[in-house]
Amino acid sequence: MFKKRYSRPGAAPATLHAAPDAAAAVVIKLMEYGPHGCEERILSSVADLPDCRGAEDEKIRWIEFNGLGDVAALRELGQKFNLHPLALEDVLNVGQRPKLEAYAGHLFIVAQMIYHDAERTLCGEQVSIFVCGNFLISIQEDAETDVFDPVRQRIRVGGGNIRTMKPDYLAYALLDAIVDHGFPVLEEIGEALQEIEDTVLTAPGKETIGELHSLKRTLMQLRRFVWPERDVVNSLLHGDSEFVHPQTKIYLRDLYDHTVQIMDLIEAYRDVATSLMDMYLSSVGLRTNEIMRVLTVISSIFIPLTFLAGVYGMNFKHMPELETSWGYPVFWVLIIVIAVGQLIFFRRKKWL
């Protein structure tokens, strides 16, 4: 679900290398907004971006840099806005643990975004966020899919406080969208666990154990990234960064509660998955025991019958029963009586 890339072994710090599977095309979007309006543009290059480091107007500028295949464009972006080279290296080495780092002149946030694509496949993607002054830069791997459409719509229509707040509130809104998209994902996992539980109780099979392993791996990956995201929100909430204003921390408290709820759900579902695994093994063992019990009963019934058949199958001449006309039917009556008697005995003992 989540991809992981590392720097080349032995490479110097802050060395930027494009990933082989990264898309070469980069899509750059600019959204400028304020209390009185919003303007959106798609730019052809980093050079077309406004130099907003020293801008004193009240407009907030959200720069979306989507695509990691053009290292030169990313390096140019870093030079234009004085982004630290180590932070840019973390942008390219996706699969980073969510974290918060303060550099001179800007705040750097790494988050892991989970969502369902058009085919309802669970996907994961790294989102890197730079906050400074009156601008925010978000960098994503894919230009086509993200979870930020509700945030964009709120900016367009002026919903809530987003147009009147600083870029730190926009960073909160993006993190809130990332965290809240974990709830529908976990809801589907919960429904899948419920279906597996019904299957385990009725007709467990090899497919069931495969689905359980897949869900447990997914929950482990989610826990790996949601847990540090909670630490990131906690650092934003209780830190003394100049980029996070007191009025935004009220909303960060609510976001922190959401991360705690996500973690509680993940831990609960992990326990359920583990319990279902134990239940599956117990169910399979119980079914095996039932089969062995039936086979044992059948074998026990045939033991005396086989003994009688073996004795009278020796055909010794001094056996008087072999010379009588009633020997054969008596033999079958004896066998039937023994078999029925054993069945009644096993039934009374509740072995059947």
Q: Which domains does the chain have, with CATH numbers?
A: 1-159 (3.30.460.20), 292-348 (1.20.58.340)
Pairing mode, strands 122-132 and 106-116? antiparallel
The pLDDT tens digits for 283-310 are 777 777 778 878 888 888 888 888 888 8
DSSP code per residue over 97-166? PPEEEEETTEEEEEEEEEEE-TT--EEEEEEEEEEETTEEEEEES-SS--S-HHHHHHHHHT-TTGGGS-
Overall residue count recorded for the chain in this entry: 352
For position 249, what pLDDT does the model report? 92
For position 44, what pLDDT does the model report? 87
Secondary structure tally for the chain: helices H, strands E: 8, 7
For position 167, what pLDDT does the model report? 92
For position 17, what pLDDT does the model report? 67
For position 23, what pLDDT does the model report? 57
For position 142, what pLDDT does the model report? 79
Q: Which stretches of the chain score pLDDT less than 50?
A: none
Q: Which residues pair with 113 in a beta bridge?
A: 125
Contact 125, 146 (CB under 8 A): yes
For position 171, what pLDDT does the model report? 95
Please tell me the distance from the alpha carbon of residue 126 to that of residue 29, in angstroms, as a whole number: 18
